[in-house]
Amino acid sequence: MRDIKDLREEILISLKNASSNEYEALKIKYLGRKGVITSILRGLKGVPKEERKIIGMEANKLKKEIEEFFKQHKVERAKSSSGKFRDYTLPGRKNLPGAVHPVSRALDEIINIFMRLGFSIEYGPEIESDYYNFEALNIPKHHPSRDMQDTFYIAESDKLLRTHTSPVQIRTMERQKPPIRVIAPGRCYRKDEIDPSHSPVFHQVEGLYVDENVTFADLKGILSAFAGDFFGPDTKTRFTPSFFPFTEPSSEMYVSCVFCGGKGCNVCQYTGWLEVLGCGLVNPKVFEYVGYDTEKYSGFAFGLGVERFAMLKYGIDDMRLLYENNIEFLKGVIK
């Protein structure tokens, strides 16, 4: 009986300190055909009859206890991390290769094109002050253009989630003197209702070029070259008058419809043209905020929505599809 008691303690200590890889060897050692417990049960015939029953009961009790331990260990090993039973007889699942999201692909392409055109990249904070997001861009308080952008303000402060990446141009001009040729990609926020063409969170690329004798012809040349590189060499562009408080004159750029080639379809409302971005010459009042000599320097700025460019590039008709994580949709877009 003392041997069985000591053996039980020895086995429990061994199992407690053993790794999962050692369990199979221990199972053979204790429960195998020539195992310790099996040997005890076979040796009962040499035990006095009056003790045989008690020792046999204790030995069988120890055997069942050890068998239950290994049974439980097998069940635990077969469970997944989520606690569900894993059936190893099922066929394996193929790991799908990852791919770059359509928005990221479009953004990368936009950045690469402008870098080839001589632009560098600047970044700015997503939490901005009212001064950089509005006032220094010639959008003072109560200016009617603020109605165009419902803003996420941070309570009891002049901080807000930026509504565009245009504040980066102010921060850049404060930090350095012309010539400046930069783009500012990043995430923006507005209180837009979610629908096929709007989202409260979106991506924008702001562009700024400042030097001596910069004209609207420079603006048209750069943006037309960009459109031809992004949409294809046959892409045509046109510019129509518009209004933005930080540019004067202001314009919207259109490209020939990428779906019908300019012939007219329901996407372009049978006009043959699609509006893709806003632009214009930098308003001299903006230069005054950063201390630039308005008689010496001129420049142009533009801003484009990355989601819109991704939708046109990959033939997507609903912005919500970009963020629903539908793997079948993404597989169809990313080829």
- CATH code of the domain in which 240 resides: 3.30.930.10
User: How many distinct structural domains can be found in the chain?
Assistant: 2
293 and 173 within one domain: yes
Q: Are 20 and 124 found together in one domain?
A: no
pLDDT band at 304 (very low <50, low <70, confident <90, very high): very high
- 171 and 293, same domain (yes or no): yes
- 179-183, 197-201, 237-241, range with the lowest pLDDT: 197-201
Q: Which residue has the higher pLDDT, 80 or 83?
A: 83
For tokens 């892409």, name the residue.
235
Read off the pLDDT band of 85 (50, 70, 90). low
Q: Is the pLDDT of residue 254 over 90?
A: yes
pLDDT at 86 over 70: no
Task: For residues 239 and 119, state if they share a domain.
Answer: yes
Can you give the pLDDT at residue 335?
63
Is the confidence at residue 2, as pLDDT, over 70? no
> Considering the domain boundaries, does residue 66 fall inside one?
yes
Tens of pLDDT, residues 148-180: 678 899 987 889 999 999 999 999 999 999 999
**According to the model, what pLDDT value does residue 102 have?**
92
CA 303 → CA 42, 158, 250, distances in Å? Answer: 88, 24, 12
Q: What is the mean pLDDT of residues 192-205?
A: 91
Residue 97 lies in a domain: no
Listed residues 24, 44, 78: the one ending a domain: 78
pLDDT (0 to 100) of residue 27: 78
Same domain, 52 and 145: no
Residues 293 and 163 placed together within one structural domain of the fold: yes
Asked whether residue 71 carries a pLDDT value surpassing 50, the answer given is: yes
Question: Would 257 be classed as within a structural domain?
Answer: yes
The answer to whether residue 96 sits within a structural domain is: no
Q: What is the mean pLDDT of the chain?
A: 87
Task: Indicate whether 95 belongs to any domain.
Answer: no
Q: Are residues 24 and 114 in the same domain?
A: no
Name the band, by pLDDT with cuts 50, 70 and 90, for residue 81. very low
Looking at the fold, whether 283 and 147 belong to one and the same domain comes out as: yes
- Predicted local confidence at residue 17, as pLDDT: 75
The pLDDT of residue 84 = 62
Give the per-residue pLDDT at 180: 97
Question: Which amino acid makes up residue 89?
Answer: T
Which has more confidence, 84 or 80? Answer: 84
Q: Is residue 89 part of a domain?
A: no
Model confidence at 82, pLDDT cuts 50, 70, 90, reads low
Residue 91 lies in a domain: no
Verify that 179 and 324 share a domain, yes or no. yes
Instruction: Give yes or no: residues 274 and 320 share one domain.
Output: yes
pLDDT value, residue 58: 79
In a domain, 86, yes or no: no
pLDDT at 213 over 80: yes
112 and 54 in a single domain? The answer is no
Same structural domain, 144 and 245 = yes
- Please tell me the predicted confidence (pLDDT) of residue 230: 96
Instruction: Give the domain extent around 293.
Output: 102-333
Residue 49 has pLDDT above 80, yes or no: no
Its pTM stands at 0.71
